A and B are shown apart, each in its own frame.
Chain A
């Protein structure tokens, strides 16, 4: 190829790469974004059904009920203003404790309870995941706003 053609070839390959990436990102980003909600927003019914969301809050003391037969567990999650019920099947993370801040990922069912697919507690020397703190803060102010992100492990 002549230098000019060669440069065009270069540009063409780069642009098809960018186009491919853009398509992939646009296709995947929208459906894999999870918004954050607080228990207050869920109580008020501000959360869409059938959407996977993240909820942060404190596990209410003495609210954890285990069902030994099928490893189900139910607990109440609060931002101190409002409280919701969360149910989950499986092993809770090491750091899960009553009174502790956790994040649950899942969907809201017709009864307004949360069916969690994943319960996360943070490996952190900090005393509480920030999104939990933020959910509580918003509740205390009477406002309602989604809470920030945190990647957490099981």
Chain B
């Protein structure tokens, strides 16, 4: 009964979403406020229906209802409760349902916080979100229904992929989807602006926090995914340039550009058409990512079950949504006039360079991701584009970006001069150059030029951010000024410092990581990066649904025992895939990472010992960026002006 109820709720949601998308749009054209007012109750009702549907699927999982095909495929009765719940989004159908739930969640959030918005704008925004909901609900019902029954019911379910039985995977997809789907809100705002043919101050003030929140989730989602890959895949990589990763990274880059462009639009009343275009791009890339991942046109490590019918559906949906958005843009964007003027050297220019670099970086990833597809389509041979391509293209673009970043916040809006700029930043430039070089030299000794340059630029971002801060406080009564500084300003500083930390982490770990594959018998040891790794013991361990071979590895520095690690090789009962559980001795400045290979004769194993300096800084940097975003969202001005404008 429960699955049928869930299915029914989904159909109801589709009907309501249709009302939500059509009635307010017609109302907006006819200037009929009663029709426009339908948007809010429809959005709320739709959320309730999707939530009921999601709840039904969750109950089916909790109750081990193996008469539901999706449950039987992705869960079994031995699975612990928390994994049974997270298995709801463990595979295609359920994750789409989660997607729909999050979309309706964002919609209801807009309907709650929209008080100060003009009725026409808010109802258009809700209607556009409704159209996107219609698309996803149709997709669910037509090609990916999670409530399909299995006759006769299975006695026992399949297991959840052992790789996915991990706490990281409980949170990773929902957070990432929050980001992906959240981009629909700025998108809807952009379309509504194009429909009404103008952008005013309230529009920007509205669009910005939504874009920020989506960006925060995207940042956290990507960082979490990277961290999960690092400790769970068993060989210490943190980014693979896999199509699925690229699919999440591209919208992130564009949204980062959008945040900066929105700042210009809000502060300086310019870049308007550009901001709209970026809003459209952000969500377009998140849809494109869905297409790439779900359609099976690209083969990726993240093996989602693929189905050509799904690919066709998403492509049509994508072509419809993005095509009409860009058509609208082509038609109406010229009506949106930017009034603000600026000179060649100004913060506007630097932010434009920032935007262009981020977009160009995104485009190069898109090219690398789609190039094999293109070659295939043109019958030019089957190829793959390896990670070196992405590294090579990405590094110079990012270094350039980081270089410009250091100047941005210190440059005046509208007009500035080189002389003043140099005056303000010369000290931090010199300090960062010296500090950066000393840093590398003292810890690692003589370094390659590019490494030194990258570290110097990382320090440069941090130093110039601090210099900007100091400059802002001024000489007299700094504490009074401190109190007046908006929270968003701190947000920017923290996020920029995060970028610096991230750059330093990436540079140092990729230059100085050491890795050695060795064969160790019990009692033997191997020295890597000044640490002696001793295989002290080998034991068999029983897990809840697996058996494991566990090694005890003692890490010594000189004669001093630093840490004891227990890497495992697990054999899950339900699948013959062995799984490598790495032993990681984590630290702020370095990780030691041990993964077991294969058993050898004579009570020995092959294993891989890794030294990963500063690898934590990568995720620390990402966390700082997200935290900076959070500070910016909490800024008083978004709340105050919204109340005041009503």
Contact = CB atoms under 8 A, between A and B. Distances in A.
Given A24-B397, A125-B161, A151-B243, A71 B518 contact: yes
A68 B595 CA distance: 18
Contacts of A152: 301
Nearest to A69: B519
Nearest to A129: B299
Interface in B574-609: 577-580, 595, 597-598, 600-601, 606-608
Contacts of B451: none
Contacts of A126: 303
B368 A29 contact: yes
B70 interface: no
A17 B359 contact: yes
Interface string B176-187: 000000000000
A150 interface: yes
B81 interface: no
Interface string B360-389: 100110011001100010000111111011
B393 A130 contact: no
B352 interface: yes
A25 interface: yes
Interface stretch (B39-47, B95-103, B339-347): B339-347
Contacts of A150: 299-300, 384
Q: Is the interface of B mostly helix, strand, loop or mixed?
A: mixed
Given A94-B579, A149-B372, A32 B385 contact: yes
B606 A151 contact: no
Q: How large is the interface on B (under 10, 10 to 19, 20 to 34, 35 or more residues)?
A: 35 or more
Contacts of B163: 123
Contacts of B598: 91-92
A13 B349 contact: yes
B383 A36 contact: yes
Given A1-B342, A36-B384, A147-B382, A25 B301 contact: no
Contact of B352 (A3, A13, A28, A34): A13
A151 B356 contact: no
A2 B344 CA distance: 11
Contacts of B356: 13-14, 16-17
Interface stretch (B234-242, B318-326, B405-413): B234-242
Interface centre among B243, B305, B376, B389 (most CB of A within 10 A): B389
Given A32-B386, A34-B386, A71-B517, A146 B342 contact: no
Contacts of A25: 364, 367-368, 393
Contact of B393 (A3, A28, A89, A94): A28
Given A17-B359, A95-B577, A130 B299 contact: yes
Contacts of A124: 303
Nearest to B337: A3
B600 A36 contact: no
Contacts of B601: 68
B396 interface: yes
Contact of A35 (B344, B367, B382): B382
Contacts of B580: 94
Nearest to A37: B382
Contacts of B384: 33-34, 36, 54, 149-151
B483 interface: no
Contact of A151 (B233, B240, B359, B577): B240
A123 B606 CA distance: 21
A36 B382 contact: yes
A17 B364 CA distance: 11
B300 A151 contact: yes
A45 interface: no
Interface string B156-178: 00000101000000000000000
B357 interface: yes
Nearest to B575: A125
A94 B235 CA distance: 11
Given A1-B341, A149-B299, A29 B371 contact: yes
A3 B518 CA distance: 66
A68 B382 contact: no
Question: Which 7 interchain pairs have the tightest Cβ spacing?
Answer: A91-B597, A17-B356, A32-B389, A150-B299, A124-B303, A149-B384, A28-B392
Interface of A: 1-3, 6, 9-10, 13-14, 16-18, 20-21, 24-25, 27-29, 32-36, 54, 66, 68, 71, 89-92, 94-95, 122-126, 129-131, 145-154
15 contacts: A1-B343, A20-B360, A25-B368, A29-B368, A33-B371, A33-B386, A33-B389, A34-B386, A54-B384, A68-B519, A91-B597, A91-B606, A123-B577, A149-B372, A153-B301
Interface of B: 161, 163, 233-235, 240, 242-243, 298-301, 303, 305, 341-344, 349, 352-353, 356-357, 359-360, 363-364, 367-368, 371-372, 376, 381-386, 388-389, 392-393, 396-397, 517-519, 577-580, 595, 597-598, 600-601, 606-608
Given A2-B341, A24-B392, A71-B517, 7 more contacts: A28-B392, A32-B385, A68-B519, A122-B301, A146-B381, A149-B383, A154-B235
